């Protein structure tokens, strides 16, 4: 059996479905039947669903940065989660395991304080190593 010929015969596609498992669970679809991205987020405290413009996506040299706001306390802080989504190319029907990082950011720059405003490091970060599976789903 010639594996090179067999692999070449199968069409490849970029993954568009990413399922992160662990204490933090994320299901991210870069596209949906409506064409808009979808993301569900669940940790020990919250379970949230996002779609379209609620999801910020930025293509970079290291992968796509996918960001959602998981907590927004007016005049205090905003907590976001940014998932680094790698490029995954796979055969149709295949599922590929991958590992990546999730960056939790707490931003206090919008906190209401007396002038001149908040001081010090206004953004703090926590890095989570995460694992998941990628696949290509036809919408």
Per-residue pLDDT of 37-62, as tens digits, reads 999 999 998 999 999 999 999 999 99
Tell me the sheet residues that pair with 83. Answer: 66, 102
**pLDDT at residue 109 in the model:** 78
Contact (Cβ atoms closer than 8 angstroms) between residue 16 and residue 30 = yes
- pTM to 2 decimal places: 0.84
CA distance 131 to 106: 23
Domain 3-135 has CATH 2.40.128: yes
Structure tokens at 53: 């413009």
Structure tokens at 138: 């036809």
CA distance 83 to 35: 20
**pLDDT at residue 47 in the model:** 95
The domain limits of the chain are 3-135
């Amino acid at each position: 059996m010639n594996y090179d010929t067999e692999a070449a015969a199968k069409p490849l596609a970029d993954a568009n479905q990413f399922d992160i498992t662990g204490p933090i669970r994320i299901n991210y679809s870069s596209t949906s039947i409506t064409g808009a991205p979808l993301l569900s987020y669940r940790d020990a405290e919250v379970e949230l669903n996002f779609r379209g413009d609620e999801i910020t996506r930025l293509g970079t040299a290291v992968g796509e940065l996918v960001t959602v706001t998981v907590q927004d306390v007016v005049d205090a802080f905003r907590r976001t989660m940014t998932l680094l989504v790698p490029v995954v190319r796979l055969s149709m029907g295949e599922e590929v395991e991958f590992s990546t990082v999730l960056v939790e950011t707490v931003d206090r720059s919008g906190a209401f304080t007396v002038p001149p405003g908040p001081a010090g490091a206004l953004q703090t970060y926590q890095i989570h190593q995460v694992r998941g599976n990628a696949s290509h789903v036809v919408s």
